[in-house]
Amino acid sequence: MTNVAVIGSQWGDEGKGKVVDWLSERAQVVVRFQGGHNAGHTLVIDGVTYKLSLLPSGIVRPGKLSIIGNGVVIDPFALLDEIANVSKLGVEISPKNLRIAENAPLILPVHRRVDQVAEAIRGKGKIGTTGRGIGPAYEDKIARRAIRVCDLEDEDLLRDKLENLLVYHNALLKAADAAPMTVEEILKPLMEVAPKILPFVEPVWRLLDTARREGKRILFEGAQGAMLDVDHGTYPYVTSSNTLAGTATIGSGMGMGGIGYVLGITKAYTTRVGSGPFPTELMDDIGAKIGKIGHEFGTVTGRPRRCGWFDAVMVRQAVKICGINGIALTKVDILDGFDTIKICVGYKHGGKTYDYLPASMKIQAELEPVYEEMPGWQGITHGKKSWADLPAQAIKYIRRIEELIECQVALLSTSPKREDTILVRDPFID
């Protein structure tokens, strides 16, 4: 048996929520290890739709322990709202099934204001932030001025830290002709929510070590995708955290040897929300058709996703930098009925060809895809639960993807429903 880390291999929105929910049936512990409430996972279970942002996907399953790790930046107000909304759908949430790392950084109202002001100043150079304060909160963490969950226990310490924090952020707001914030307008609401947050708090690294020694299966749930990684993604059009599989250890406190299998969630085509390069983007009727059939709208923002053909170059790169052992291929059914399907197998730029995504911002923006065409299929993959029931041409498409990305399919998702999943190789017993 082994513990599994689930990460996105594209620009997020690959269907991680459903896959993590499906895998969590085999796990006892589910851990979020990076990102904030800018990432959303949608689960459809017995006709009920759950939209999660901070809560691990395992929270909807009875008897599972869900953990929010130290690598997550937590908006305490958004978290309490999410707990309330999910509870209304019949999910019981208490310190018995949800624990929060004591050393996780908090997102404060000043972070949201700074985030929105900074994005407005960028004008045409916007990076596509959700304006929820994620970036500024991570910035404070690295600059060693962050307010952390454990600070909610001590009002005097919290006041001192807020005074130090606002010296920096109010200077930026003043320079942008934006209203500054006071210590009291942040401190008072924090003190009001502290008694609701603190019962969930624990040194989760120790909790995970105990679970590991007891032989419990642990599932690590990533947010966003590899190409949004602050180091390896399409910088600067990325998120503010590391989204690669290695972050699962840092963002949870689990030692390096605690993760045995990395599952890369991979959509059968490509989507992206917000600004940034997108070599295979389709600005035509086909792209619109994919978006309509696939219901491609952001879970958190509601923004329509940009759609394009499958980019094998990008996913192969994600496989390498994340150490992906197998992929879960999702939304194959959205391609049902297409006469021709294209796969990007390389890039062209300035007379040069690339078999990888170069780091240069300028080159990324000007890359032209090199396509390989395949016949589509007229049969139906939607809702299929067996490999034998798939159309022959759909199987050929999947096999070609495996060849190009140099990684095998471990799971195949054929609809948003939990039960419409074909297991090829079980990551927990690989």
- Catalytic positions, please? 13, 41
The kind and range of the H/E element at 206 are helix 204-213
Chain centroid to CA 331: 17
Tokens of 70: 């130290």
Helices (H) and strands (E) in the chain, counts: 12, 18
Q: 399: which residues sit within 8 A by CB, 6+ positions away? A: none
Beta pairing class for 65-68 and 29-32:
parallel
Place of tokens 């170069």: 358
In Å, what is the CA distance from 187 to each residue of 72, 132, 356?
Answer: 21, 19, 48
Tokens of 263: 């599952």
Q: Are 241 and 34 in contact (CB under 8 A)?
A: yes
Tokens of 385: 């639960």
Place of tokens 């942008």: 176
* Angstrom distance (rounded) from CA 145 to CA 359: 30
Q: Are 314 and 293 in contact (CB under 8 A)?
A: no
User: What is the DSSP code (8-state) at residue 424?
Assistant: S
User: What is the DSSP code (8-state) at residue 99?
Assistant: E
| Cis before 105? omega within 30 | no
Q: Are 106 and 253 in contact (CB under 8 A)?
A: no
* Angstrom distance (rounded) from CA 163 to CA 172: 15
* Angstrom distance (rounded) from CA 121 to CA 357: 29
Q: 128 in the Ramachandran plot: left (φ > 0), alpha (ψ -120 to 50) or beta?
A: left
* Angstrom distance (rounded) from CA 155 to CA 196: 15
Q: Are 236 and 361 in contact (CB under 8 A)?
A: yes
CB atoms < 10 A from the CB of 42, how many?
A: 19
Burial class (CB in 10 A: 0-12, 13-18, 19+), 414: buried
